[in-house]
Structure 1
Amino acid sequence: MSIAETCPCGTGRAYPACCGALHAGARLAETPEELMRSRYSAFAKGDAGYLVRTWHPRTRPADLTLDDDPTWTGLEIVEAADDEVAFVARYIAADGPGRLAERSRFARRGGRWVYVDGDVG
């Protein structure tokens, strides 16, 4: 498998068999960690529609526009609990490399996991 085929989420699996299946609607995320990984991959691939569909309606923005900057380069799951996932996402922006650390909260809504909100830090 080439790097180009590997899923951005860091599992090492092929994109179509990993987050690609979630992005295409072929299946739903089974855990908050799987949803977090698929959302990271959606940011990396520029799939704003998937991000909106997996964001709790109470907290999602009215408009979500994704830019090409930054370029997401890696995801590390620090901790995954019942309905929270702590992660570090690495990126390269116009002003250089950076990282985003967040503890995200998730909820079950209509039988599926959705992103609620998170604490950056």
Structure 2
Amino acid sequence: MNCPCCSGKSYEECCKPFHTKTKFPQTAEELMRSRFSAFAIPNGEYLMDTTFPAKRKLHNKKDLQEWGEMNDWTKLEIIKTSGKNLVEFKAHYNDENGTTQIHHEISLFEKLNNRWYYVSGKFLD
């Protein structure tokens, strides 16, 4: 199976090792890609685990899981990375009504104890 993150690699050699915690993302972009795949699969537990610990109270594993389940995640476009911790991306998906949507965001990531975490995102039009 091709990896949902659109890396061109198989899921087994791309995001699966991150989802199973046998490897950890080494860059903010790798974490971004693995989180997109976690929405596509879906894997709400991984999404919570990779949210910055101080920000987890703002999120809910059940909601993250449902957001993944209710949408058909079709494509990830990495627009650019800035510095080591900003990733601009477009996540393409079909919502529960079958309407094509694009989620355009600049995400902030932070490294803590040698692991990358999602901190926050700024939505773009």
Q: What's the TM-score once normalised by structure 2's chain length?
A: 0.89
Unaligned runs of 5+ in 1: none
Partner of 1:90: 92
Partner of 2:19: 23
Of Structure 1 and Structure 2, the greater helix share is in: 2
Partner of 2:74: 73
Tell me how far apart the structure 1 counterparts of residues 70 and 95 of structure 2 sit (CA, whole Å).
6
Q: Please state if 1:37 is matched with 2:38.
A: no
Unaligned runs of 5+ in 2: none
Of 89, 96, 103, the residue aligned with 1:100 is 103
Tell me how far apart the structure 1 counterparts of residues 11 and 49 of structure 2 sit (CA, whole Å).
19
Which shows bigger deviation, 44-53 or 62-71? 62-71
Partner of 1:63: 60
Q: What's the TM-score once normalised by structure 1's chain length?
A: 0.92
* CA-to-aligned-CA distance 1:24-79 (integer Å, 9 cap, x gap): 11111010000000000001011011111110011123522222211111000001
* CA-to-aligned-CA distance 1:63-117 (integer Å, 9 cap, x gap): 2222221111100000112110000000001331101000000011111111000
For residue 30 of structure 1, give the secondary structure of its aligned residue in structure 2: coil
For residue 58 of structure 1, give the secondary structure of its aligned residue in structure 2: helix
* Residue 62 to residue 103, structure 1, CA distance change in 2 (3 Å): closer
Q: CA RMSD in A?
A: 1.0
Tell me how far apart the structure 2 counterparts of residues 64 and 26 of structure 1 sit (CA, whole Å).
21
Tell me how far apart the structure 1 counterparts of residues 114 and 78 of structure 2 sit (CA, whole Å).
24
Counterpart amino acid of residue 120 in structure 1 = F
